[in-house]
Structure 1
Amino acid sequence: MRFYKECLHCNKELIGRRDKKFCDPQCKSAYQYQQAQEQPERFYNRVDNQLKLNRRLLKYFNKAGKATIRTEQLNSEGFNPNYFTHYWKNGKGDVYLFVYEYGFLKRVENTIEKYVLIQWQGYMEK
């Protein structure tokens, strides 16, 4: 008795084991990639991607170790201040939010919202 099944990706006739689903590893990989693209983005991936983008932007705009930038400029690049990895409170009580080793603090100067950008330093460890 012979079973006729087709590859789930390319629809070629499958030869071999009864439970075979793909004709080769490339079709299996292409099929799984296609299925993943059709699924909505997982929560973990959304958070991870936003953290990576936030870190990249903070690093780019903070080349000297400390910088100030308007919030609108950073936010227009895709920065989202709601995604951070940890925080640090300085002696004055200001709370800096960090994305890995790059931190930011929201300030308002003359009605203009800005972020003060800093880089993690050894003395911040407690």
Structure 2
Amino acid sequence: MSEKKCPECGAVIVGRSDKKFCSDQCRNAYHNNLRAPVTNYMRQVNNILRKNRTILETLNPTGKMKVHKNRLIALGFNFSYF
């Protein structure tokens, strides 16, 4: 029977026959690396949304005013995300 190797570090796996990683650290690192691009994109979108929300709250604390589009643009409001 061939030796199974850890997909993260390449170490030989000892233990159960259905074990895929040599340690919890390798398992976590492997799955974190798989999710990294998605997580980074979500973080960027959340930052844009947070900035938009802050701009709106600053200009319109009661939620009943109209704000001119040029003023929002000047403050960095991103109209692609709302």
Q: TM-score range, shorter-chain basis? A: 0.5 to 0.7
Give the letter for the 2:8 counterpart.
H
Q: How far apart, CA to CA, are the structure 2 residues paired with 1:51 and 1:29?
A: 29
Residue 25 of structure 2 corresponds to which residue in structure 1?
Answer: 26
Evaluate the alpha carbon distance shift between residue 28 and residue 53 of structure 1 in structure 2; reply closer, same or farther with a 3 A threshold: farther
Q: Which runs of 5+ in 2 are unaligned?
A: none
Deviation at 1:58, TM superposition (A): 3.1
- For residues 65-89 of structure 1, what are the alpha-carbon distances to aligned partners after superposition, in whole Å with 9 as ceiling and x for unaligned? 26968233222xxx322433xxxxx
| Cross-structure match for 2:79 | 81
The answer to whether the 8 Å contact 1:47/1:83 transfers is no
Contact in 2 for aligned 1:3/1:18 (Cα 8 Å): no
- Report the Cα offset of residue 64 of structure 1: 7.8
**Pair 1:8–1:53, CA change in 2 (3 A):** farther
Name the amino acid aligned to 1:15: V
Residue-pair matches, total: 76
Higher helix share: 2
Q: Which amino acid in 1 is paired with 2:72?
A: T
Runs (4+) off by over 4 Å: 38-42, 66-69
Alignment partner, residue 61 of structure 2: 65
Q: Aligned Cα RMSD in Å?
A: 3.5
Residues 12-58 of structure 1, C-alpha deviations (whole Å, 9 max, x = no match): 1100111211112111111111112256967xx37952433322343
TM-score normalised according to structure 1 size = 0.43
| Residue of structure 2 equivalent to 1:14 | 13
Structure 2: distance between partners of 1:80 and 1:29: 35
